[in-house]
């Protein structure tokens, strides 16, 4: 196979896989939530309700795409695209298997962090351009929350970088051949997991879209396919964070017997299910609790983690 064709296949394969998984998550999340709440969830359309995804997509594509007259139109249209683009760009650096990755960036991890910061713009712009009080409140919360959680999201990963000695995700996975980083970097894993919840603004960190007090937060004014893009963007974010957790802490594609890509998808799915499980179990904290938790507990913990990792690496002389 010529290399150009191969890379084209990988690019479109990754794109299709990411979007398919995100769309399927609409169904998976509803079924899993139902399972944990002793219900069935959507089980009418097609076998096991699988066609519910198609029904949902047809519905969301055909809905009236209404732009409120008081909105800032160009920004209003741009905002949902930003989150999809930012998240899909991050998928480019994830190594799904030893030879399946869109690009081999030697600063892959930094690229991921930069792209997840770009996601904040989407939320803020959406809330700002909507010109409505609930949207603005949601956007303010989202901005404050994502900025403060990004600080230690990056710091929690530095332990991994120090142990692997590289920012390249492929090198990080290869460095886990002996021992997956979830054990030596357990604290880093927990911190990254929590920051991941905040980055994707999922329960318990879904204050930007707290429907109890803010209608739907930053996407209150959105309808039709633009709302759908935020929706899919959230699921893409979950998939991305799960894939990153697997890559950075749970050995990526490493695993016995099964092919590498299968291992990767299995592990990723477990973490996606974890996201849904947390949604089924957790309440939503108050906003000041969220912020003080981030700055007073998570940030010192991640700094301590980095310090201890550095000291251990220094004294063992690796």
Partner 1 sequence: MLSLLKGIGVILRHTFHRRETIQYPEEKPKLPPRWRGRIILSRDPDGAERCVACYLCAAVCPVDCISLQAAEDETGRRYPEFFRINFSRCIFCGLCEEACPTYAIQLTPDFEMAEYERQNLVYEKEDLLIDGLGKYPGYNFYKVAGLEIGSKKKGEAENEAPPVDVRSLLP
* Closer residue to partner 1 in complex, CB, 282/287: 282
> Under rule CB under 8 A, which residues in 282-311 are in contact with partner 1?
282
Query: Structure tokens of 48?
Result: 């096991």
The residue from 1, 5, 38, 69 that contacts partner 1 (CB under 8 A) is 38
Residues with Cβ within 8 Å of 248's Cβ and at least 6 positions away in sequence, in order, are 109, 157, 160, 169, 172, 181, 192
Shortest distance, CB of residue 40 to partner 1, whole angstroms?
5
39 binding partner 1? (CB under 8 A): yes
Cα 151–chain centre separation = 16
Neighbours of 193 (CB within 10 A): 18
* Residue 278 Cβ vs partner 1, minimum distance, rounded to whole Å: 7
Q: Give yes or no for a contact between 294 and 204, defined as CB atoms under 8 angstroms apart.
A: no
The answer to whether residues 45 and 54 touch, using CB atoms and an 8 Å cutoff, is: yes
Smallest distance from the beta carbon of 277 to partner 1, in angstroms?
A: 6
Side-chain half-sphere of 155: how many Cα atoms within 13 Å? 22
* Beta carbon of residue 268, minimum distance to partner 1 (angstroms, whole number): 19
Q: Does 7 bind partner 1 (CB under 8 A)?
A: no
Q: Which residues pair with 100 in a beta bridge?
A: 97
Beta-carbon contacts of residue 258 (< 8 Å; ≥ 6 apart): 266
Q: Which stretch binds partner 1 (CB under 8 A): 149-157, 159-167, 272-280, 300-308?
A: 272-280
To partner 1, the closest distance from the beta carbon of 89 in angstroms equals 32
Our CB check for partner 1 shows the closer of 73 and 296 to be 296
Q: Which of 280, 303, 312, 313 binds partner 1 (CB under 8 A)?
A: 280
Query: Residue holding tokens 């030596």?
Result: 184
Interface with partner 1, residue 40, by CB under 8 A: yes
Binding footprint of partner 1 on the chain (CB under 8 A): 34-40, 277-278, 280-282
């Amino acid at each position: 196979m010529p290399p150009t064709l191969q890379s084209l296949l990988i690019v479109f394969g990754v794109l299709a896989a990411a979007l398919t998984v995100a769309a399927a998550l609409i169904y998976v999340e509803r079924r899993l939530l139902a399972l944990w709440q002793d219900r069935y969830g959507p089980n009418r359309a097609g076998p096991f309700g699988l066609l519910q995804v198609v029904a949902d997509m047809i519905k969301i594509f055909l809905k009236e795409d209404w732009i409120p007259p008081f909105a800032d139109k160009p920004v209003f249209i741009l905002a949902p695209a930003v989150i999809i683009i930012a998240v899909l760009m991050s998928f480019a650096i994830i190594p799904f298997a030893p030879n399946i990755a869109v690009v081999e960036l030697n600063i892959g991890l930094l690229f991921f962090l930069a792209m997840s910061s770009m996601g904040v713009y989407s939320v803020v712009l959406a809330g700002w351009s909507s010109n409505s009080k609930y949207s603005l409140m949601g956007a303010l919360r989202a901005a404050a929350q994502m900025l403060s959680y990004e600080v230690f999201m990056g710091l929690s990963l530095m332990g991994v970088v120090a142990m692997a000695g590289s920012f390249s995700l492929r090198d990080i996975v290869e460095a886990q051949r002996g021992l997956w980083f979830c054990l030596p970097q357990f604290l880093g894993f927990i911190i990254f997991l929590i920051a991941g919840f905040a980055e994707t603004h999922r329960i318990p960190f879904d204050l930007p879209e707290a429907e109890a007090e803010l209608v739907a937060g930053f996407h209150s004014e959105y309808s039709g396919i633009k709302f759908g893009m935020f929706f899919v963007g959230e699921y893409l974010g979950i998939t991305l964070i799960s894939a990153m957790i697997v890559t950075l802490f749970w050995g990526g594609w490493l695993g016995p017997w099964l092919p590498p890509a299968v291992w990767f998808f299995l592990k990723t799915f477990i973490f996606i299910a974890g996201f849904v499980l947390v949604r089924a179990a957790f309440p939503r904290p108050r906003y000041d609790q969220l912020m003080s938790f981030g700055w007073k507990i998570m940030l010192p913990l991640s700094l301590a983690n980095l310090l201890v990792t550095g000291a251990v690496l220094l004294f063992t002389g690796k």
